[in-house]
Amino acid sequence: MWKYVAFILNLPWILIGVIVAIVSIPTGIKLSVDPFALVVQVKSFWWYNFLPSKKGVRAITNGHIICLGPLVEKNDLEHELIHVKQHQRQPLMHPLLYFLENLFHGYENNKYEQEAYLKSKSRYIDHA
Ligand SMILES: [Zn+2]
């Protein structure tokens, strides 16, 4: 039951995820059942890449929408699925809490990223 309530509360982020997927030029789509997520293969994060610190971005998750870019690596999907579970645990407010973590601790020490890297065994690459 909670899963459905969380899903509805996450609808604004899901809508943003759909827009991100469309803008990034989708080339393929599949479904993850647990956690429930739409996994969209995209052509380019061109709109994000021109930001100097964001060049190496491999995947982006908004709510239950995961976008996998052309640079995606082994276990990146598992990493993004952890972010979907974080949205389920903290519906509606997760992106705000994530943003505050980044602001105060930086990306590398963001506890949500640390959880995702640890559980998925995905690889952090520093592009700075
Ligand atoms: Zn992450």
Tens of pLDDT, residue by residue over 65-89, are: 999 999 999 999 999 999 999 999 9
Tell me the CA–centroid distance for residue 96 and ligand 1, in Å: 14
Q: What is the pLDDT of residue 128?
A: 54
For the chain (128 residues), the mean pLDDT of every run of 10, in chain order, is 92 98 98 97 90 82 97 96 97 97 94 97 78
Q: What is the pLDDT of residue 30?
A: 98
Q: What is the pLDDT of residue 50?
A: 77
Q: What is the pLDDT of residue 62?
A: 97
Q: Are 61 and 17 in contact (CB under 8 A)?
A: yes
Tell me the CA–centroid distance for residue 2 and ligand 1, in Å: 24
Tell me the CA–centroid distance for residue 30 and ligand 1, in Å: 20
Tell me the CA–centroid distance for residue 8 and ligand 1, in Å: 22
Tell me the CA–centroid distance for residue 83 and ligand 1, in Å: 7
pTM attached to this predicted model: 0.93
Of the chain, the end-to-end C-alpha distance in Å amounts to 43
Please name which of 30, 12, 31 lies closest in space to residue 87, comparing C-alpha atoms: 12
Whose structure tokens read 């039951």? 1
Q: What is the pLDDT of residue 127?
A: 61
